[in-house]
Amino acid sequence: MPRSVNEEKRAELLLEVAHHLERHGLAQMSLTPLAESVGTTKRMLLYYFGSRENLLVSALNAVRPDAHAMFDGVRDTAALLQAARDLWEAITVGEQAGAIRVLLQLLSLATTDPEQYGDLAADTVEIMVDPISAAYVRLGYAPQEARARATLLVSGMRGLCQDRLVTRDVARTDAAAHRLIKDAVTATI
């Protein structure tokens, strides 16, 4: 009978892996140096996660903003505005600020290596768009319009995050994000 996985150790390793990826990136992610960096072995990473791909998916899931938690309770425009502002704060100065670097790298890698990263990148986008789109639908928007507005928020914020990381211009990108959020939420159909 195989021994059961120590979930506490797995969760601990997962956070270490996520922090490593934030600092060192995805492009050259190799299990042996990654394992050494987080204080384990390649064999143990494979034991806990099964494969490099599963490890990457698990690490991304562990550090991405929980859009469902942020947007599932939205029932009016004011709540949608606040949830979108909270998302912007989470990905720029909050606990997901480091994770956005990994997400941007993943999306970039998906454009040059779609076979390896394409599905994961597409899933990562949908995980954010779906709950925001559902919030718009609850506010009375048609599904197609809701998805368009959710995509505007998600992709717009992501682009502004990239701009902010490159230019370090916090004031300009914050102002643009607040304008984007206001326009995406309050503009008439």
The CATH number of the structural domain formed by 7-61 is 1.10.10
Local confidence band at 133 (pLDDT 50, 70, 90 cut-offs): very high
103 exposure class (CB count in 10 Å sphere: 0-12, 13-18, 19+): buried
Has residue 182 got a pLDDT over 90? yes
- Digit-coded pLDDT (tens) for 145-179: 999 999 999 999 999 999 999 999 999 999 999 99
Local confidence band at 116 (pLDDT 50, 70, 90 cut-offs): confident
pLDDT for the residue 189:
57
What is the pLDDT averaged over residues 117-142? 93
Local confidence band at 140 (pLDDT 50, 70, 90 cut-offs): very high
Concatenating the DSSP letter of every residue in 43-59 gives: HHHHHHHSSHHHHHHHH
Q: Is the dihedral of CA 179, 171, 61, 54 positive or negative?
A: positive
**What's the CA gap between 104 and 158, in Å, rounded?**
8
- Digit-coded pLDDT (tens) for 57-105: 888 887 778 899 999 999 999 999 999 999 999 899 877 777 888 888 8
The structural domains of the chain, with segments of one domain joined by +, span 7-61, 65-186
Mean pLDDT score of the chain: 89
